[in-house]
Amino acid sequence: MPPVSRNAPCPCGSNKRYKDCHGAIAAPSHPEAQPPTVDATRSAREGTETSYRPSGPDWDHLSDTERTACSILMQRALKQQLAGKLVDASASYSEVLAQAPNTHDALHMVGAIELRRGNLAEARQLILAAMKLRPPYPDIEHNLRMVEDLLRASRVDAGRAPVATEELCERALSILADLALRPTRPGRLQRTSRNDRMESGQGPVHLIAGVLNTSDEGAWLVWRLATLLAPMRPTVWLSAADPPEVRADVRIRSLAPDVGDFPRDGRLVFVGLDIDCAEWIDLTDAQRILIFCQPAAPSLYLDQLRAISRDGSRPVHLLFPSQAMAARFGAGYSALPPPIEADGRKSESVHERVASVGSTSAVGLIGRLWQGTSPSDDAEFLRHVAGSAGLLEIYDPGALRYTLGAEPAVRFWRRGASALRSFVSEVDCVLHVANKWWLEGDGRELFMAMAAGTPVICPRGSMFAEYIDHGVDGLVYDDRDEAIELLWALRRRPAWGMSLGRSAHAKVAALVAPARMAHALEEFVLGERHPIEPSVASKVRQLAMAK
């Protein structure tokens, strides 16, 4: 059992503090492949020549020469593992095991590598063998739990096609919620935040945006948050050497942990999860850690949240773009719609054009989100869509160029920072698709369409379906046939589409009104009370009805 405090002595009897001994957090590129032996890990990371020694009697029967050889091999293996060279690391560990089959750490690590590769049965055997040699400690217990959970998840799917890592990880998110996350319950939060305030007053706010959200269109969320949180004077941290745009109103700093440039304290607000923080997150003394959970692969959630929360030793607060997504992590997490700018309403002239053309309507599709399972079925469906509407317009089409490039009734829009706005206002409706929740994007396109007065046709299983009232401000479909029927109906009755669009615009304008957004975000960042109303949808309905 780990001790209550990470500063307490380690139960292994080493006289070190738990956090410096078995509770240490290595720099894991993948949490389950975390090397356990602190000294060796640290020396491998720092490149110093402290040699590896097992912390138990694993090598007592070896000669000095053999021990040195094994020690060098272990060190190499750990280095390889930390560098992500799993194949090489596994080979090096196997060499150690050939000489000393009872090397606990080598067994554990090969198990962790097999887990990473998805060979669950092997991983389980190896970790169990390792556990026979030592009393249990948190890392190995976690790894075993993960293997067993994934095994259970894969048994549920027995008979179906082999499950991809992402899907297994998705099912493991519930473990993550136990391990790493503390839902923000109103009562708890009151206490935490009062402590926060008493201890520190209002610490600086850091928006940590990492590498991927810099120069592409996804940067909108970072800059939007910076604008909305401007009264709190946030610092934006980017890992790119050259910030893609310089803004007078925002302080931009370069995230460079190797030269000591990273946020040290205050409120850390992570924008998205595609951020490499393993190097520095342990060294920060943050008052409050918040994460804008933009859709990311479940494996990234596992990696990043475990690192950021220090394996559950400090609370993190999550904000999701919808309740449906938050619910995957358990009860009690917050949700807020994407903070888009709700201006740019579709002009009446576009409506008139639609009314006059009547016979064809243009259905928009965000191609990037289209991650179909069977390309031929998908192509067939999309041809139907084009046929039902008269014209299919695809924004950021990606691989759809291959399947539909020769279709006369399909047009393609390239991705671009300003293109999205014209796209969503030029089409007559937007068809949303959702095969996997983590591929659905952050909902920006969908909300921008609604704000522009373009109705959205959304699958019921989508994590954004909760924002749409079927037949009032958008349409919800159960299967593809129903989607096709809805498209036909919209084409026959352009006036219906226009009235849906007007309601959609009113709803989004109320939902993401800048003052309301800024207030909700400020509450989330300061943590002064339960940040975001649990049921955005019902709130929105009230707002819409009041209008």
Partner 1 sequence: MLHPVDRICMLVENLGIMRNVWKTHLGTEVAYDPQYHDNARVEVASFISEPPALVLDVGCGGGATGKILKQKFPGIRIVGVESNPQAAEHARQFLDEVICEPIESAPVRERLKGQLVDLVLLLDVLEHLYDPWRSLLRVRSWLAPGVRVLASVPNVRNLVTLDDLAAGRWDYEPNGVLDITHVRFFTKASLRTLFEETGFAVLEMTPIFRPEAVDPYVLARRPGRLTTRNLSISFRNREDLEDLYALQYVIDARASAPELAEIVGATREPEGAHL
Q: Summarize as ranges the residues that interact with partner 1 (CB under 8 A).
A: 29-30, 83-87, 210-212, 214-216, 218, 239-241, 244, 274-276, 397-408, 410-412, 414
Which helix (H) or strand (E) segment holds residue 74: the answer is: helix 64-82
**Comparison of 123 and 275: residue with beta carbon closer to partner 1:** 275
In angstroms, give the least distance from the CB of 276 to partner 1. Answer: 4
**Comparison of 25 and 465: residue with beta carbon closer to partner 1:** 25
In angstroms, give the least distance from the CB of 226 to partner 1. Answer: 18
Which helix (H) or strand (E) segment holds residue 94: the answer is: helix 86-99
DSSP 8-state assignment for residue 271: E
Residue 449, phi then psi, degrees to nearest 5: -60, -50
**Comparison of 238 and 431: residue with beta carbon closer to partner 1:** 238
Find the Cα–Cα–Cα–Cα dihedral 399, 401, 406, 407, rounded to 10°.
Answer: 90
In angstroms, give the least distance from the CB of 146 to partner 1. Answer: 18
**What gap in Å lies between CA 522 and CA 81, rounded to an integer?**
41
The letter for the amino acid at 497 is G
**Comparison of 70 and 308: residue with beta carbon closer to partner 1:** 308
In angstroms, give the least distance from the CB of 145 to partner 1. Answer: 23
The letter for the amino acid at 360 is T
Please provide the DSSP assignment of 444-482 as one string.
HHHHHHHHTT--EEEETTSTTGGG--BTTTBEEESSHHH
Contact 517, 228 (CB under 8 A): yes
**Comparison of 274 and 523: residue with beta carbon closer to partner 1:** 274
In angstroms, give the least distance from the CB of 251 to partner 1. Answer: 20
Task: Give the closest residue to 266 by CA, choosing from 324, 217, 199, 325.
Answer: 199
**Comparison of 86 and 486: residue with beta carbon closer to partner 1:** 86
In angstroms, give the least distance from the CB of 250 to partner 1. Answer: 18
* Angle, CA of 396, 399 and 402, to the nearest 5°: 115
Look up residue 392 and give its two tokens: 């299919």
In angstroms, give the least distance from the CB of 274 to partner 1. Answer: 5
**Comparison of 410 and 544: residue with beta carbon closer to partner 1:** 410
**What gap in Å lies between CA 362 and CA 278, rounded to an integer?**
46
The letter for the amino acid at 231 is P
In angstroms, give the least distance from the CB of 215 to partner 1. Answer: 4
Contact 21, 14 (CB under 8 A): yes
Spatial neighbors of 437 by CB under 8 A, at least 6 apart, are 295, 324, 325, 328, 462, 463
Please provide the DSSP assignment of 222-265 as one string.
HHHHHHHTGGG-PEEEE-SSS-SS--TTSEEEE-BGGGTBS--E
In angstroms, give the least distance from the CB of 400 to partner 1. Answer: 8
In angstroms, give the least distance from the CB of 392 to partner 1. Answer: 12
**Comparison of 219 and 465: residue with beta carbon closer to partner 1:** 219
**Comparison of 82 and 123: residue with beta carbon closer to partner 1:** 82
Contact 475, 500 (CB under 8 A): yes
**Comparison of 184 and 214: residue with beta carbon closer to partner 1:** 214
